[in-house]
A and B are shown apart, each in its own frame.
Chain A
Amino acid sequence: MNETTPGTERFKSVVLVLTLLNTIFAALLSGLQVDANIRANNANRDSQYYALLVSK
């Protein structure tokens, strides 16, 4: 009763491949998020610095 059909095995393989692709996508997205955060921080810093330069 526990035997799996070839169709089920193929389905599991497809799910695994999709999970792999999704993991890689999520990892890349995480890297982009870090990069966007750094850019946002730098822009915030620059805005404060330029505002101080103007007020001198």
Chain B
Amino acid sequence: MTEKKWFTSERMDIWIAAFIALVSLTTAFAAWRTSVVGSSAADANRQGVIDSIKKGTSQNESWRRAYEEAGYATGFSIESAAADAMDASGDKTYRATAKNLRQYLLPSLQLLSEPLGTQEKYLTADGAFDLEKRFADLEAETPDIQALNPIDSFDLADRYSSEQRWLTIGTVLLAISLFWLGMAEILAGRARTVNLLIGLGVYLFGVVFLLIIEAVAILGRGGAL
């Protein structure tokens, strides 16, 4: 008699309502977690783009400096050759001009062209400036910028996005179980029990599915939520 009472329609109504509430809460939690993961993916993507901009800006600045120094070094060479020519001309006025150049202009140009225009290591075998080498040295001066790797951030974002996809599938499972429980609330007799069991089965499967997804994803990221 006690067993029969346990399965009365009224009692079943309460249990089904409680299960629906539980599934609703779990669905809301899963939806929240899916949203958090999506947000983390967006953050990682943004970080990757920011790192790309930083690296790009650094490289542009390094090239600008290399070419700026090359410009001054070229100016120094031209003016130096001009001073030599004026000295060799024998003309007193030209020699005075050459002296002026050597005293004021050339030291300034040499200073501005440093180190590209003054260090031997930046000269190629044919006497040209080795801009690639100067660029590499300038880049080496900013190791923190060079350590940035946008691709790592993009890979992390892809992992988050993959988790988001799977979590969405889990959320769909929970929504389906909610429907079966709703059917159980409407139906009566054997059909009600069958629907209730299907709903609970899908719900439990969905919860286990979500837990496995979370565990695999978190372990894959080395423990990061």
Q: Which residues of A contact B (CB under 8 A)?
A: 16, 19-20, 23-24, 27-28, 30-31, 34-35, 38, 41-42, 45, 48-49, 52-53, 55-56
Task: Give the nearest-CB partner of B150 in chain A.
Answer: A49
* Contact between A45 and B168, CB atoms less than 8 A apart: no
* Contact between A30 and B168, CB atoms less than 8 A apart: yes
* Contact between B150 and A27, CB atoms less than 8 A apart: no
Q: Inside 8 A of A52's CB, which chain B residues have their CB?
A: 49, 52-53, 56
What are 26 residue pairs bridging A and B, where the CB atoms are less than 8 Å apart in the complex? A16-B183, A20-B179, A23-B175, A23-B176, A24-B176, A34-B164, A34-B165, A34-B168, A35-B165, A35-B168, A38-B41, A38-B165, A41-B41, A42-B45, A42-B158, A42-B161, A45-B154, A48-B49, A48-B52, A49-B48, A49-B150, A49-B154, A52-B52, A52-B53, A53-B56, A56-B59
Residues of A contacting B: mostly: helix
Q: Inside 8 A of B52's CB, which chain A residues have their CB?
A: 48-49, 52-53
Closest chain B CB from A13 CB (angstroms): 10
Q: Inside 8 A of A45's CB, which chain B residues have their CB?
A: 45, 48-49, 154, 157
* Contact between B154 and A28, CB atoms less than 8 A apart: no
CA distance A55 to B56 in the complex (A): 8
Q: Inside 8 A of A31's CB, which chain B residues have their CB?
A: 165, 168-169, 172
Closest chain B CB from A41 CB (angstroms): 7
Closest chain B CB from A15 CB (angstroms): 11
CA distance A20 to B91 in the complex (A): 104
Contact of A38 among B53, B164, B169 (CB under 8 A): B164
Task: Give the nearest-CB partner of B45 in chain A.
Answer: A45
Closest chain B CB from A44 CB (angstroms): 8
CA distance A41 to B169 in the complex (A): 19
* Contact between B179 and A23, CB atoms less than 8 A apart: yes
- The reply to whether the CB of B186 lies closer than 8 angstroms to some CB of chain A is yes
Known contacts A20-B183, A31-B168; is A41 also within 8 Å of B45 by CB? yes
* Contact between A56 and B165, CB atoms less than 8 A apart: no
**Among all A-B residue pairs, the 5 with the closest Cβ atoms:** A27-B172, A34-B168, A38-B161, A52-B52, A45-B45
Q: Inside 8 A of B123's CB, which chain A residues have their CB?
A: none
**Most chain A CB within a 10 A radius of its CB, from B42, B161, B164, B186:** B161
Task: Give the nearest-CB partner of B186 in chain A.
Answer: A16
Q: Inside 8 A of A38's CB, which chain B residues have their CB?
A: 38, 41, 161, 164-165
CA distance A22 to B41 in the complex (A): 31
Q: Inside 8 A of B179's CB, which chain A residues have their CB?
A: 19-20, 23
